[in-house]
Chains A and B, each alone.
Chain A
């Protein structure tokens, strides 16, 4: 895919203190498994996002190590217990070394 992976994140903008919120994420990425062969019979080299991590105000909340068995355009959801107002930093790490980052604010009322 020629286009740069674009993360999409959905979470409530506001939450009550102590409320459990679900964060749903999606990123466009082909997740080339390294198992496929091209028309010439050569193995297409692996290129996947191997790690997804979520931090809130700089503190690690949730991490996922992805293997080639994760579908293209990977979806990941997880939960967070709202305590204080702050910002999520979601990072996707690619095999080629690049990072895709999304930042989302959460206001606790």
Chain B
């Protein structure tokens, strides 16, 4: 920077403004969760247990125009009897400020392990779903949602 004159030139002012603008763009991204935080959350719940694929149908849109309201439906295949039912379902996202979205607890009285809600997604990211069966088996699935307008902070 030219400081000899002691006056900040127009060009420098513009450059500084550009840097400030960039910083403002980058700053909110810093506190975003990532795959590691989601993995850590999962580890907190289930330790190092293995996950099987299948059984879970995670219904999310491929492209969400509005990140503030993204429908999410989880449907887990299970007979839902006293002997064999889905105990819990957890939904996570790896690109939100906080990794957790929702945790469900089902009972055999539900008849069907299915639930729908609407979530906020800050940006394009993976939605991860875990199901815990009554016999202790774990299942996992994930799906990418492209977000056009992020639903965080505004």
Contacts from A to B (Cβ < 8 Å)? 20, 33, 35-37, 56, 59-72, 74-81, 83
Contacts and interface: CB of A to CB of B under 8 A. Distances in A.
A37 B152 CA distance: 10
B152 A33 contact: yes
A79 B102 contact: no
A69 B69 CA distance: 10
Given A63-B104, A66-B102, A70-B101, A75 B117 contact: yes
Contacts of B116: 75-77
Interface in B24-80: 68-70, 80
Contacts of A33: 97, 120, 152
Given A71-B119, A76-B116, A77-B117, 14 more contacts: A33-B152, A35-B97, A61-B107, A62-B104, A62-B107, A62-B110, A63-B105, A64-B105, A71-B118, A71-B120, A77-B115, A78-B114, A78-B115, A80-B111
A79 B111 contact: yes
B91 to A, nearest CB: 9
Interface of B: 68-70, 80, 93, 96-98, 100-107, 109-112, 114-121, 151-154
Contacts of A69: 93, 96, 98, 100-102, 119-121
Contacts of A80: 109-111
A59 B102 contact: no
B112 A59 contact: no
Contacts, number: 97
B33 to A, nearest CB: 10
Contacts of B114: 78-79
A35 B70 CA distance: 18
Contacts of A70: 101-102, 117-120
Contact of A56 (B109, B119, B152): B109
Given A76-B115, A81-B109, A65 B153 contact: no
Given A33-B152, A35-B152, A81-B109, A62 B102 contact: no
Contacts of B80: 81
- 3 closest A-B pairs by CB: A81-B111, A79-B112, A67-B100
B119 A61 contact: no
Contact of B109 (A35, A36, A61, A76): A61
A83 B82 CA distance: 15
